[in-house]
Structure 1
Amino acid sequence: MKLIHRLLGIEAQDIDGLSRQILMPVGFALAVLLLWEGVTHVFSIKEVLLPAPSAIWSRLQESLPVLLQHAWPTAWESVAGFLIASVLGIGLAALLSASHTMRSMLYPNVVLFQLIPKIALAPLFIVWLGIGFESRLAFSVFISFFPIVVATLAGLDNVDKSLLRLCRALTASNWQVFASVRLPHALPYVFSGMKIATTFAIIGVIVGEFITSQAGLGYLILFASSQADTALILATITVLCVFGLVFYGLVALAERWTRTRFGA
């Protein structure tokens, strides 16, 4: 086995890392599913209360075309909201880091807005923007914006002071310091905030679909609940989880590429 690993160029540390990152969580999830399946059969739990994973899988296969049809609006609105929130969040964090005056004026108000329960504001976005995708997109941006601002600002502020003194000694401009020192140093913080924002962006869209939409995974969950179709609810949630994992994975891949590119 060691010879095969050497021929493939795989180190022992890589195998151990692969085991911890993939095999262990997958194995635990499979064990939970097997336990779930066994409990539903042993205790004869009604499907309307808690369907077995096998029943959910069957329902998923039966409804796959419908699920994919409703997954599309949820997916593109979530991605669009995330991208807009990322641009606005990074831009605002850069502004707050560069200007103490703007930071004193804006940052406390940003924090104040985040203290308001988000679900309470969802109807206001519908009143302001209507029942179309615009209200869902705006709400998604609103709730996923704050983690990116906080994380990026922390990264921009936590630059090694000796590097900043060296830049001043070399008469570097503020833009040069930002582009060459502050931003590359802040990349791990930026992507930490973006990973959190992926979840928030999806939540924002789903909440909007609960209220107004006639399409999307949130609407499908609400429709299935009105029909007491628990298997369809859980099948829809499964599709939503898969999308969330793919979304998060793409952000993680972008982080790896960016940090390699900039040496962060």
Structure 2
Amino acid sequence: MSDMALPATPNQPRLSLAGHWVSQILLPVAFAAVVLGLWEGLVRWYQVPEVILPPPSVIGARIVSAWPFLLQHSLPTAIEATVGFLIAAAFGIVLSVVLVYSRWAYVALYPNVVFFQLIPKIALAPLFIVWLGIGSSSRLAFSVFIAFFPVVISTLTGLNSTPPDMLRLCKALTAKSWQVFLSVRFPYALPHIFSGLKVAVTFAIIGVIVGEFITAQAGLGYLVLFASSQAETPLILAAIAMLCVVGLVLYGIVAGAERLILKRYGH
């Protein structure tokens, strides 16, 4: 009896779960707190003017005082970034499927997709405004243009990473192409697809912000420009902090969807 392995105690899963929370939440929060504390201390020690770099306490106070104003400008940015991301995700996945299943489409389109990706995006922003006007359509188009490429690349990689043995088995079972796609190729590609989606959601926000810098009369990008024209550095950093919150929320939604869907497919 002394050599037998002891059964797992009820506390072991709790310890594992606690370790997960420590590694995923407490450590990043602790590191951020240390950085903010050093920022606060160094700025006050060297008496850096607020117009150059305000301490985090001043930025936090500005967020509290301007909260309704910040929230008002966060909504259009979040909505346009979400719509741009969804369009980019749908377009990128569909294009990748076409490129995988059509050799002619791959030869004709893929080099051009790579070519357009090499063009500096910021240089094309004024053209989108000329073509589509100063409304939200130009910002959405620019956001989609920036965000779709990571989805295309990751989805192509995922669809082409299916084990050859699985494809040969499907062929031996006389499975149709759509059955192979739904049952084998797509489930195997999901981790790659979500890797691209997590990159794309951040790119979509960048695209909207660039558009707001040029045309918008609302949004966090517009607020950053407005505050910079008034030399309101605390408000600039408060708007950037809100932008980070918007980005984290959207990224968290994609990461949560990834966890649920991968669990559904047994990854």
TM-score per shorter chain, which class?
Answer: over 0.9
Aligned-partner Cα distance in 1 for 2:187–2:16: 28
Greater CA deviation, 17-26 or 37-46? 17-26
| Partner amino acid, structure 2, of 1:84 | I
Note the C-alpha offset of 1:21: 1.4
Which of 186, 200, 211 in structure 2 is aligned with 1:197? 200
Aligned residue in 1 for 2:222: 219
Is 1:38 matched up with 2:41?
yes
Secondary structure of residue in 1 paired with 2:10: helix
| Partner amino acid, structure 1, of 2:121 | K
Q: Aligned residue pairs: how many?
A: 259
Aligned residue in 2 for 1:188: 191
Aligned residue in 2 for 1:20: 23
Aligned residue in 2 for 1:228: 231
Is 1:119 matched up with 2:122?
yes
| Partner amino acid, structure 1, of 2:151 | I
Deviation sequence 1:28-58 (CA, Å, 0-9, x none) = 1000101111111111111000001000011
Is 1:6 matched up with 2:10?
yes
Aligned residue in 2 for 1:241: 244
Note the C-alpha offset of 1:99: 1.1
- TM normalised by structure 2 equals 0.95
Note the C-alpha offset of 1:135: 0.1
- TM normalised by structure 1 equals 0.96
Aligned-partner Cα distance in 2 for 1:10–1:104: 51
Aligned-partner Cα distance in 2 for 1:63–1:187: 41
Deviation sequence 1:175-201 (CA, Å, 0-9, x none) = 110011000100000000000001100
Aligned-partner Cα distance in 2 for 1:59–1:226: 17
Greater CA deviation, 38-47 or 13-22? 13-22
* Unaligned 5+ runs, structure 2: 1-8
The RMSD of aligned alpha carbons is 1.1
After superposition, residues 1-264 of structure 1 pair within 5 angstroms as: 6=10, 10-264=13-267
Aligned-partner Cα distance in 2 for 1:113–1:200: 15
* Unaligned 5+ runs, structure 1: none
Deviation sequence 1:65-107 (CA, Å, 0-9, x none) = 1100001110000000000000000000011111111111100
Aligned-partner Cα distance in 1 for 2:162–2:146: 27
Aligned-partner Cα distance in 2 for 1:81–1:27: 33
Deviation sequence 1:196-215 (CA, Å, 0-9, x none) = 00110000000000001000
| Partner amino acid, structure 1, of 2:43 | T
Note the C-alpha offset of 1:23: 1.0
Aligned-partner Cα distance in 1 for 2:266–2:105: 30
Secondary structure of residue in 2 paired with 1:13: helix
Percent identity between the two aligned chains: 60
